[in-house]
Amino acid sequence: MEEKEKKGKSRKANRNREKESEWQERVVQIRRVTKVVKGGKKLSFRAIVVVGNERGQVGVGVGKASDVIGAVKKGVADAKKHLITVPLTKSNSLPHPSTGEATGARVMMRPAAPGTGVIAGGSVRTVLELAGVQNALAKQLGSNNPLNNARAAVDALSSLRTFADVAQERGIEIEKLYV
């Protein structure tokens, strides 16, 4: 009898932990895709999901399944596998301008003054918001494919560096960077 009560409590604790999870998930796109096989067309769903904790970590994932819920779950798992860490300034902006590329898509990002907000479109806005960026300007160049633009945004964010990172790579103190 006591063992059943303990199991019940642990299940409730796990459920509460999942609800209080620090990760936020946003579905960028759900598409119905088909595969032509011998017997006809096989339908499945593709979900593009962005996962982030709004404190400098973000990832983009893709999931495919025969139902939408399964595709979203797979997309979340894929996004958590491909997390990157984004260095943010004190004003929750980007440290410097950056560009990223993914296949045919290019994304240009620039830091913005406090109070500007995130000025970006589509999946790039979602990536920036879930990364925790509050003030930035972004422009999609080339392709308007949401998956490629999201991956280009992640590429641009992963190339960001802080003064401390640059000083450490060069083996000098931060003060000497300004001279």
Residue 98 in this model has a pLDDT that exceeds 60: yes
Quick check: is 29 in a domain? Answer: yes
Q: Which residue has the higher pLDDT, 86 or 177?
A: 86
Looking up tokens 């960028």 gives 28
Residues 105-158: tens digit of each pLDDT = 999 999 999 999 999 999 999 999 999 999 999 999 999 999 999 999 999 999
Residue 20 in this model has a pLDDT that exceeds 70: no
Quick check: is 150 in a domain? Answer: yes
Range of the domain at 31: 23-83
One domain, residues 69 and 28: yes
**CATH code of the domain covering residue 28:** 3.30.160.20
Domain edge (last residue) among 57, 83, 109: 83
DSSP state of 12: H
Which residues touch 96 (CB under 8 Å, ≥6 apart)?
A: 111, 160, 161
Rounded to 5°, the CA angle 116-117-118 comes to: 125
Q: Three-state DSSP class for 46?
A: strand
Q: How many structural domains compose the chain?
A: 2
HEC string of 120-171? Answer: CCHHHHHHHHHHCCCEEEEEEEECCCHHHHHHHHHHHHHCCCCHHHHHHHHC
One domain, residues 67 and 101: no
Average pLDDT over every residue of 61-67: 96
**CATH code of the domain covering residue 98:** 3.30.230.10
One domain, residues 128 and 75: no
One domain, residues 100 and 159: yes
Is the separation of the CB atoms in 153 and 123 below 8 Å?
yes
pLDDT confidence of residue 174 = 81
Quick check: is 6 in a domain? Answer: no
One domain, residues 162 and 102: yes
Q: State pTM to two decimals.
A: 0.83
| Burial of 96 per CB tally in 10 Å (0-12, 13-18, 19+) | middle
Quick check: is 98 in a domain? Answer: yes
Average pLDDT over every residue of 35-40: 93
Q: Which residue has the higher pLDDT, 179 or 93?
A: 93
The values of phi and psi at residue 124, to 5°, are -65, -40
